[in-house]
Structure 1
Amino acid sequence: MKFTDGFWLMRDGVHASYATEVRDLHVSDDHFTAYAAVKHVEHRGHTLNSPLITVECFSPAEGVIGVRTTHHAGKAHHGPDFVLHDAGRGSGARTRREGSVTELTSGPLTVRLDSDGPWGLAFLDADGRRLTAVEAKGTAFARTPDGGHHMVTQLALGVGEYIYGLGERFTPYVKNGQSVDIWQADGGTSSEQAYKNVPFHLSSRGYGVFVNHPGKVSYEIGSESVGQVQFSVEDQSIEFYVIAGPTPKDVLARYTALTGRPALPPAWSFGLWLTTSFCTSYDEETVTSFVDGMAERNIPLSVFHFDCFWMREYQWSDFQWDPRTFPDPEGMLARLKERGLRISMWINPYIAQKSALFAEGAHHGYLVRNPRGDIWQWDLWQAGMALVDFTNPAARAWFQGKLKTLLDQGVDCFKTDFGERVPTDVVWHDGSDPERMHNYYTQLYNACVFELLEKERGEGEAVLFARSATAGGQQFPVHWGGDCFASFNAMAESLRGGLSLSLSGFGFWSHDIGGFEGTPDPEVFKRWLAFGLLSSHSRLHGNMSYRVPWEFGDEAVEVARQFTELKHRLMPYLYGAAVEARRSGTPLMRPMLLEFPDDPGCRTLDRQYMLGPDLLVAPVFTADGDVEFYVPEGTWTHLLTGVTVTGPAWRRERHGFDSLPLYVRPGAVLPLGADDQRPDGDWLDGLTLLVAPGAEGRTVTVPDHGGAPAAAYTVVREGSALRVSASGTDRPFRVRVVGGGSARGSGEATVPLP
């Protein structure tokens, strides 16, 4: 939200009060509180009829410094609040006071206040380098003509500093110059609205900032005051955390330790998902024809998904199979599962009036009500629909009970659609503030479903396909990019959204291969297949048309088969990266900035990414196969062709539909499985280690399906040969040196260097 009219003036009817000077300071061992006047005080009379702003500095976790700025502290707090996992466990923070300077240090991060100078806070790294600062107009409250009271913070932008994140945003990847509202909306992938809004941004200077407010947070990122990142909330208090690096990975590690690390999805979920699509006609015969068609064309399939119309029209959600279309759901599911498939079902948290669950939920008080006590309803999406009140423990148990019936029938996971269109003119069971609950509702919804899956299927077997999320939502993977169009532009929009979400703490992300709205040209579909099958999770899905590959020609079938089989062979590598996401918060699909933070060429790249630590992927966004991408320093090897390129350099290449830029990083040891037919096979059976130049001293670990280490392989140079030693296993493996020879061994293998 903008408050000023240029540099000198305020917008009509806006009055702002800025912290100007410190009038009092209370310092404890591990925190301090400053009381800032909003004008220069020359004598006692100036202390009358004038506000103070209370600024508390503290540390909830190592390397994290919190700042809470308050005008009037008497406002009642109704929640909800983000759950902070490390808060209160001890940060090791200590204060130091020398003359007028007070410092609070937590790990490698320090905040400094000079109480004798103009108001300001400086945030310093371990070497004393300034990361950012609250400067002259950086702490304020503003009153607006509509009676609003907004707390405002500004943090300085350095020259050449870039800002990323703020959730899954489809606008430009670098957020400088943008106005962003953290407010859940069902807006597709081609607008400024977002399904997944996260009040966390990451800086190219090696720090992050999390605004601890689940409601609407308005950002002006160099868009009002061009040298500042401004964020504001309509409240009496604002709290934010500056999170130390020094690398972007370090920032994400600290941020996800605070807001929650992603669970590890089951290995089977990394295979290809196929759906009925949305508004298409389907029954068991259609579903079986799809599954048969994939098998006849030798395209491995892992998950089959039933979209909305598995239920009767006008009755979403009642969680009852449409008996006209599916007269024998248990038998059908059993037949599909006999073929080795997992089953996913579409659900949402909205209860249509025609659904039997509406009367049941109304009777028990499980549906959200307005201040008059009436059930909140509207006709958008479903006629007369209401909203499940997940703040009510009994409503959560009721909702889970309906889903458990489906699990008992053989369903494995759920696509948790919607959760964004949440009203603010309602009363919640637990008394939550409706404005704060608007964004937070999705957290309760996805947590409710995920917790049921963990309980019924076991830890490590739970997985969602979720659309909406906020901070902390990364704990309940997987998330997909929502309703994109079937075009190259939408494909690029989707990637930008995924990269922004990755830099917001989310480890796993997917999208609708081929696009959702409309029917893709065969060229779009084939290019999207390669991109989708080199993503964290891979799903074929559409709106009014099917997404089975043969609908797009014989070549599309070949491309689908090739890249599905490639993904299966990559599973020992991909699952290792998935384990890293669970352990440290580093996402599986990584913006180039994460792996190469010191390379200026990587800071603005939004059409390529690293898949895990060692594979560079540049999707092709053209029908003719022309693609431009950047390779960082070193010699990179194309995984499919063996061609090498040397960076740092920009590359222009042309690729057929069976290829794309897919380069192995210098120094990589890439574990490749032999089984190309399923994602959850025996990864050590026939394992090949692809060793790139410069891998000496590297150790790579292959996990088991639960994420525990199954085997580790260490590369050592001995004269003119490379020796690879295995630990944790005596099973045979093969070593193949890029540009050189290969060898087999058990326990160890030695390969002469070229």
Structure 2
Amino acid sequence: MKFSDGFWQLRPGVTALYAQEAHDIVAGEHSLTVTAPTAVIRHRGDTLNRPTLTVTLTSPLPGVIGVRVEHFQGGRQEAGFDLDGALEGQGVVVVDAGGGTLTSGSLTARITPGAPWNLTFESNGRVLTGSGDKSLGYIRLAGDAQVDPGPVSNSREGGDRPTSDTYLHAQLGLGVGELIYGLGERFGPLVKNGQSVDIWNADGGTSSEQAYKNVPFYLSNRGYGVLVNHPGHVAFEVGSEAVERVQFSVAGESIEYFVIDGPTPKEVLSRYTELTGRPAAVPAWSYGLWLTTSFTTNYDEATVTGFIDAMAERDLPLSVFHFDCFWMREFNWSDFEWDARTFPDPEGMLARLHEKDLHVCVWINPYIAQRAPLFAEAKAAGYLVKRPNGDVWQWDLWQAGMALVDFTNPDAKAWYQSKLRVLLDQGVDAFKTDFGERIPLEVDYFDGSSPERMHNWYTQLYNEAVHEVLVEARGEGDAVLFARSATVGGQKLPVHWGGDCTSTYESMAESLRGGLSLALSGFGFWSHDIGGFEGTPDAGVFKRWVAFGMLSSHSRLHGSNSYRVPWAFDEEAVDVTRTFSKLKLRLMPYLYAAGREATERGTPVMRPMQIEFPDDPSCAYLDRQYLLGPDLLVAPVFTADGSVEFYLPAGTWTNYFTGEQVQGPVWRRETHGFDSVPLYVRDGAVLPVGNREDRPDYDYLDGLTLVVYPRSAALNLVSSDAVGHRDIHLTTPTGETATFTVVREGDAVNVTSDRDSGWNVRSVGGASVAAVDGSAGILF
């Protein structure tokens, strides 16, 4: 939201009161509290009739400092995000004649006494950013204030825009050459400088400024991140209103933000996800290919079985089958009842699908249609969100007369979960938690939550309710969602997919931008609709998208009004699907290890180049390529003629398919057939390649081959639980080989080699390390 009219003036109807000085700085045990008057205090009379801002600095974790700015403190204290990792007693405080400092780990916040207002953040003596003159503002709006009115809620109920007479904004400085990333899954330019971004979940597809997954967290290439601790509407001006600053504003009387130290992007994301929650582990079977019915297509068990059998006949490995909306009867979504006209024997059908070694996912949403029997049941029990007059909130958009489950009511949550347990008992393995963005404002919640704050936060409560049931039924590590909407904390509940894209090369590229932006916002796992959702892709788009989709963390064939089975396009599409599906399954030991790194450290599986190469300026703006895990560089082909341009950073890169070695840094222009894509292995990789290509969940140590690329480096490998011995084969691109015998006895693992020189085994901290030419290669 913009309040100023150029550099000198304010917009009509806007009054801004800025923190002008640090009048006094008071030390707490682990905090600093600063009184910041909105005018410089030159004599005692200046303290009268003068608003002040109270600025409190604390630390929830080493390397993280929070700043809370308040005008009036007497209002209801609204909750921020769930800060799972916050600890008590963090931060060392010093107040002396030079001002005040709060130091937490390597990060120091420094307040300078007097005027002008000056708050800086330093890491190991290096200034990261700061809050200077006119950077903390208390804003009052007259009734006719000409400011940007805020985001449309996409609920389309009376225009629904967050409005307030008062706002607080904070600004942090942008250095020369500083670039900003993140703010959720955004489909425009990856670098956010110059953009106005509204944190407001909306069902807007992938081709606009709206987003399903809005996250008020950004990451700077100067080695820090910023989280605004406000679950509702946050308006960001990223070098737009004030080109030297990032501004963020919220309605009301207070604002809180956290500065998170790095210095690397990985370390920023690690601290951020330590604070807000790490991604949960997902089951190995979820990495395989998902096939869906698509959205509005006609289907029954015979159709589903026909697709599955045809996939098997064509040697196309399939892991999950997904039933989209119309597994339920029309006008009844979501009543969680199989449409008996089409699926008279759901339990038997699900058992038959399991006999085909498939997992099953079904589509749900948090809305209850008026015709569904559950509507009357929920209404009578008081489980639906209500209008202020006590009526159930309803509308006809999406489902006729639909209402919204009130997840702030513990009984409503338990009721909703009880319906899901029935499906799990029938044999459902996973849920696609669609929607959760069209959340109204003119409502009251059971627990009194602010509707403005609940608009974005609702999806977190919805997805948490579903994930809890899956964990309860299937256990930790075997629970997986396929979710569309999210906010801060949503990364704890994977997997998320990109939403409704069109079936074009352009939409394929914008989907990747959204996924990379989400990865830079702390999300570890991500997928997208292979082939695009809206419309039907031509065969070329489909085949190019298959390669991209199978080289993503999760892979799903899905569309709107047409099926996405490969033979619906041409026979080459079948071959391409087979090629890249089997490639992904062979790479499962590598991908599963990358997934474990996401859950343990917060590093995403699909990594923007900026994460792995933060010091390479050529990577700063790259948004058409990525690293899959730490060592595989993928550049999807977004053109009909197969031409692709991409960048290889410094080092030796090896073409995965041909073995050609390329010395970086270098820009490459290549032309690829449908059966290939630029896939390069990083210098120093030890790439674990599995022995199976028919399924994603297998014993990764059984027949494992470790392919060593130039100058081998350490790699953490997730070992199997099998007892006994396994022979693991190590090979280099030039054909040198060795066999390591892994013997597991109880909790102990011992590794021996058939080579005495050059290929060694040594013990490090109780583990066994295979070494190639003296440098660590693979850790068991």
Contact 1:316 1:351 in 2 (8 A): yes
Comparing 168-177 with 27-36, greater Cα deviation is found at 27-36
Residue of structure 2 in register with 1:544 after alignment: 561
What runs of 5+ residues in structure 1 fail to find an aligned partner?
A: 712-727
Residue of structure 2 in register with 1:339 after alignment: 356
In the TM superposition, what are the counterparts of 1:500-649 in structure 2 within 5 Å?
500-649=517-666
Give the 3-state SS of the residue equivalent to 1:322 in structure 2: coil
**Which whole-Å deviations, capped at 9, do the CAs of 1:179-237 have from their partners, x for residues lacking one?**
00000100000000000010100000000000000010000000100010000000100
Give the 3-state SS of the residue equivalent to 1:689 in structure 2: strand
Q: 2:96 aligns with which of 90, 98, 109?
A: 98
In the TM superposition, what are the counterparts of 1:229-628 in structure 2 within 5 Å?
229-628=246-645
**Which whole-Å deviations, capped at 9, do the CAs of 1:44-84 have from their partners, x for residues lacking one?**
2222111011000111111000000001111113x443111
Residue of structure 2 in register with 1:702 after alignment: 717
Residue of structure 2 in register with 1:23 after alignment: 23
Measured in 2, the distance between the counterparts of 1:81 and 1:70 equals 14
- Cα distance, 1:263 vs. partner? 0.5
1:139 matched to 2:136? The reply is yes
**Which whole-Å deviations, capped at 9, do the CAs of 1:9-28 have from their partners, x for residues lacking one?**
10110110110012222112
Residue of structure 2 in register with 1:716 after alignment: none
- Cα distance, 1:663 vs. partner? 0.5
Residue of structure 2 in register with 1:734 after alignment: 729
Measured in 2, the distance between the counterparts of 1:129 and 1:244 equals 11
Comparing 743-752 with 347-356, greater Cα deviation is found at 743-752
Percentage of identical aligned residues = 63
Contact 2:408 2:445 in 1 (8 A): yes
What runs of 5+ residues in structure 2 fail to find an aligned partner?
A: 144-163, 742-751, 760-771, 774-780
Measured in 2, the distance between the counterparts of 1:98 and 1:176 equals 37
Residue of structure 2 in register with 1:181 after alignment: 198
- Cα distance, 1:741 vs. partner? 2.3
What's the TM-score once normalised by structure 1's chain length?
0.95
In the TM superposition, what are the counterparts of 1:4-83 in structure 2 within 5 Å?
4-77=4-77, 79-83=78-82
Contact 1:80 1:440 in 2 (8 A): no
The residue identity in structure 1 corresponding to 2:68 is R
The residue identity in structure 1 corresponding to 2:73 is A
**Which whole-Å deviations, capped at 9, do the CAs of 1:532-586 have from their partners, x for residues lacking one?**
0000100000000000000110110001001110000000000001001000000
Residue of structure 2 in register with 1:120 after alignment: 118
Give the 3-state SS of the residue equivalent to 1:556 in structure 2: helix
- Cα distance, 1:749 vs. partner? 4.7
Measured in 2, the distance between the counterparts of 1:409 and 1:555 equals 37
1:669 matched to 2:686? The reply is yes
Measured in 1, the distance between the counterparts of 2:719 and 2:735 equals 29
Give the 3-state SS of the residue equivalent to 2:716 in structure 1: strand
- Cα distance, 1:98 vs. partner? 3.4
**Which whole-Å deviations, capped at 9, do the CAs of 1:233-272 have from their partners, x for residues lacking one?**
0010000000000100000010001100000000000000
Measured in 1, the distance between the counterparts of 2:476 and 2:329 equals 32
The residue identity in structure 1 corresponding to 2:452 is E
Measured in 1, the distance between the counterparts of 2:564 and 2:658 equals 29
Contact 2:20 2:115 in 1 (8 A): no
- Cα distance, 1:733 vs. partner? 1.5
- Cα distance, 1:745 vs. partner? 4.0
Contact 2:40 2:115 in 1 (8 A): no
1:744 matched to 2:761? The reply is no
Give the 3-state SS of the residue equivalent to 1:557 in structure 2: helix
The residue identity in structure 2 corresponding to 1:735 is L
- Cα distance, 1:169 vs. partner? 0.5
Measured in 2, the distance between the counterparts of 1:80 and 1:678 equals 44
- Cα distance, 1:736 vs. partner? 1.3
- Cα distance, 1:100 vs. partner? 2.6
**Which whole-Å deviations, capped at 9, do the CAs of 1:312-370 have from their partners, x for residues lacking one?**
00000100011111111111111111000000000000000000000000000000000
Contact 1:80 1:437 in 2 (8 A): no
Contact 2:25 2:100 in 1 (8 A): no
Contact 1:68 1:238 in 2 (8 A): yes
User: Is the alpha carbon distance of 1:749 and 1:73 closer, same or farther for their aligned partners in structure 2, counting shifts above 3 Å?
Assistant: farther
Measured in 1, the distance between the counterparts of 2:554 and 2:126 equals 40
- Cα distance, 1:735 vs. partner? 1.2
The residue identity in structure 2 corresponding to 1:60 is P
Give the 3-state SS of the residue equivalent to 2:172 in structure 1: strand
The residue identity in structure 2 corresponding to 1:479 is H
Contact 1:267 1:680 in 2 (8 A): yes
Residue of structure 2 in register with 1:3 after alignment: 3
Give the 3-state SS of the residue equivalent to 2:22 in structure 1: strand
- Cα distance, 1:433 vs. partner? 0.6
**Which whole-Å deviations, capped at 9, do the CAs of 1:500-557 have from their partners, x for residues lacking one?**
1001110000000000000001110000000000001000000000000001101100
Measured in 2, the distance between the counterparts of 1:89 and 1:544 equals 53
Give the 3-state SS of the residue equivalent to 1:731 in structure 2: strand
- Cα distance, 1:729 vs. partner? 7.4
Measured in 2, the distance between the counterparts of 1:51 and 1:98 equals 26
Measured in 1, the distance between the counterparts of 2:15 and 2:372 equals 50
Residue of structure 2 in register with 1:717 after alignment: none
Contact 1:82 1:471 in 2 (8 A): yes
- Cα distance, 1:30 vs. partner? 1.8
Measured in 2, the distance between the counterparts of 1:617 and 1:296 equals 30
Measured in 2, the distance between the counterparts of 1:86 and 1:636 equals 38
The residue identity in structure 2 corresponding to 1:736 is T
- Cα distance, 1:704 vs. partner? 4.4
User: Is the alpha carbon distance of 1:749 and 1:423 closer, same or farther for their aligned partners in structure 2, counting shifts above 3 Å?
Assistant: farther
**Which whole-Å deviations, capped at 9, do the CAs of 1:105-164 have from their partners, x for residues lacking one?**
0001001111034101000011x1110000101111111234520000000001001000
Give the 3-state SS of the residue equivalent to 2:618 in structure 1: helix
Measured in 2, the distance between the counterparts of 1:582 and 1:591 equals 17
Contact 2:738 2:753 in 1 (8 A): no
Residue of structure 2 in register with 1:130 after alignment: 127
Residue of structure 2 in register with 1:723 after alignment: none
Q: CA RMSD in A?
A: 1.4
What's the TM-score once normalised by structure 2's chain length?
0.92
Measured in 1, the distance between the counterparts of 2:33 and 2:715 equals 48
Residue of structure 2 in register with 1:168 after alignment: 185
Contact 1:735 1:749 in 2 (8 A): no
The residue identity in structure 2 corresponding to 1:108 is S
1:108 matched to 2:123? The reply is no
Measured in 2, the distance between the counterparts of 1:210 and 1:194 equals 18
